[in-house]
Amino acid sequence: MKRFKNLNFGMSVVEIMVVAALTSLILLIGSIMMSRTTRTFKKGTDMLNTQVLMDGIVERLRTDIRCLIRIIDCTDSVFEFVISTEMGEQNVKYSWDKDRKTLFRNDSNSTNFDFHGTGQVKAFLFQPIPNKNEFQYLNVAMQLTSDEKTGSEKMESRLSIICQFSSRCLESINPFGR
């Protein structure tokens, strides 16, 4: 039987350092990939939430403006009008609070609604065409921002839209559509 002398079956310090460096490099690359994936997912979720808010505002405005009978008041940030409902006429007022960056809807039934977008309505503009007394349609321009901030990074998502609404209650007296 042969005897093996001075055979080392262990690892040297250099080999351990190389393995540790490779392992830490692999973990670093993995954490960077996970961080970017998480950030991209969060930005997509923020944009989707902003889109849902915008859709809710547009749909509510569309529903109210379709029933518009007459305008009471209109400025760049306030639009107050009368709609026809099953229970008769009802006053509706939309107002944009620039300081709180929020759009509010109030009606004569004491219903107050802020669209759950506090701080997200960055800009809003009402513009009836051709004017308040001869209403044909309403132009609305709005810009919304996401409500999520990612730590020290300011990566807010912005979404803008310009819409045009007309009243079905006034179609018979308006010359367009004939």
- Kindly report, residue by residue over 122-153, the tens digit of the pLDDT: 889 988 887 666 778 888 999 998 866 655 56
Q: In angstroms, rounded to a whole number, what is the distance separating the alpha carbons of residues 96 and 115?
A: 11
Tokens of 25: 């490099």
Q: In angstroms, rounded to a whole number, what is the distance separating the alpha carbons of residues 163 and 126?
A: 10
pLDDT of residue 1: 56
Neighbours of 79 (CB within 10 A): 28
Neighbours of 26 (CB within 10 A): 10
Average pLDDT over residues 69-80: 88
Mean pLDDT of the chain: 83
Position 174 confidence tier, pLDDT thresholds 50, 70, 90: very low
Neighbours of 5 (CB within 10 A): 5
pLDDT of residue 178: 41
Whether 74 contacts 124, CB under 8 Å:
no
Nearest to 45 by CA among 138, 163, 155: 155
Residue corresponding to tokens 């080392």: 8
Q: In angstroms, rounded to a whole number, what is the distance separating the alpha carbons of residues 53 and 64?
A: 17
Per cent of the chain over pLDDT 90 is 25
Residue corresponding to tokens 């042969």: 2
3-class DSSP state of 137: strand
Poorest-pLDDT segment among 103-107, 159-163, 169-173: 169-173
Q: How far is CA 94 from the centre of its chain?
A: 18
Q: What is the pLDDT of residues 76-125, one digit of tens each?
A: 889 999 988 888 889 999 999 899 888 999 988 777 777 777 788 888 99
